[in-house]
């Protein structure tokens, strides 16, 4: 099952952001190999309230099929999860709208419970946003592991060709002798 959760290698960790994390950079540490999902030494903890927001860019296009959330078996475990796709740099204000998919989470400290996604809705994802709005009752939310299952394809990006089109020709741009002969006087 672990080989299916290899999308952590396809995450652009340099541009990954986590909003409302207590310790800067701790949100990047919970994306790790499937074998390390139950290792509780890396954890992201919310700071001001129970909300956490992950902006996850990928290095290509992803067909997302499932998500695993591992957190401590107490009230700091996330209670709900909301997913948004292809909306980079989201903030908490942007999350007030309708999500592409929402889940009621169950406590899962072992990482055996998978939340399947609507594959049709998440077939061409280059940026995923995960919002945890609530937990099971404390002031701070803790997450130890987020596993993403799916298929990755390299991004097919083409450069934009910059061209200029003439709507009306400028005679000085096109020197020719034809114009010189036509401008002579006839007697």
pTM over 0.85: no
How far apart (Å, rounded) are the C-alpha atoms in residues 18 and 27? 5
Give pLDDT, residue 18.
96
List the structure tokens of 10: 């396809």
Strand 125-132, strand 142-143: pairing: unpaired
Q: Would you list the DSSP string of 112-127?
A: --EEE--TTTTSSEEE
How far apart (Å, rounded) are the C-alpha atoms in residues 138 and 146? 20
Return the closest-CA partner of residue 147 out of 90, 100, 98, 108. Answer: 108
Per-residue pLDDT of the chain (187 residues; tens, 9 = 90+): 666 777 999 999 999 999 999 999 999 999 998 888 888 889 999 998 999 999 999 999 999 999 999 999 999 999 999 999 999 999 999 998 899 999 999 999 998 899 999 989 999 999 999 999 999 999 999 999 999 999 998 877 666 677 766 667 676 776 666 555 555 555 5
Helices (H), the chain: 177-182
At the topology level, CATH places domain 2-154 in Jelly Rolls (2.60.120)
- Report CA Rg, the chain: 26
Domain extents in the chain: 2-154
Give pLDDT, residue 40.
86
Give pLDDT, residue 174.
66
In the three-class reduction of DSSP (H, G, I as helix; E, B as strand; rest coil), residue 57 is classed as strand
How far apart (Å, rounded) are the C-alpha atoms in residues 21 and 185? 83
């Amino acid at each position: 099952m672990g080989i299916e959760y290899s999308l952590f290698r396809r995450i652009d960790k340099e541009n990954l952001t986590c909003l409302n994390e207590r310790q800067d950079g701790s949100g990047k540490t919970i994306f790790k190999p499937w074998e390390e999902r139950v290792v509780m030494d890396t954890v992201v903890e919310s700071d001001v309230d129970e909300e956490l927001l992950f902006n996850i860019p990928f290095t290509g296009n992803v067909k997302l099929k499932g998500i695993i959330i591992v957190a401590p078996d107490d009230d700091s475990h996330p209670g709900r999860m909301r997913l948004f796709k292809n909306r980079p740099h989201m903030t908490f204000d942007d999350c007030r709208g309708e999500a592409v998919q929402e889940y009621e989470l169950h406590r899962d400290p072992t990482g055996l419970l998978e939340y399947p996604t609507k594959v049709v809705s998440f077939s061409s994802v280059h940026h995923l946003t995960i919002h945890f709005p609530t937990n099971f009752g404390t002031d701070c939310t803790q997450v130890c592991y987020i596993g993403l299952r799916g298929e990755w394809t390299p991004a097919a990006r083409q450069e934009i060709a910059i061209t200029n089109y003439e709507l009306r020709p400028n005679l000085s741009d096109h020197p020719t002798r034809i114009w010189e002969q036509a401008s002579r006087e006839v007697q």
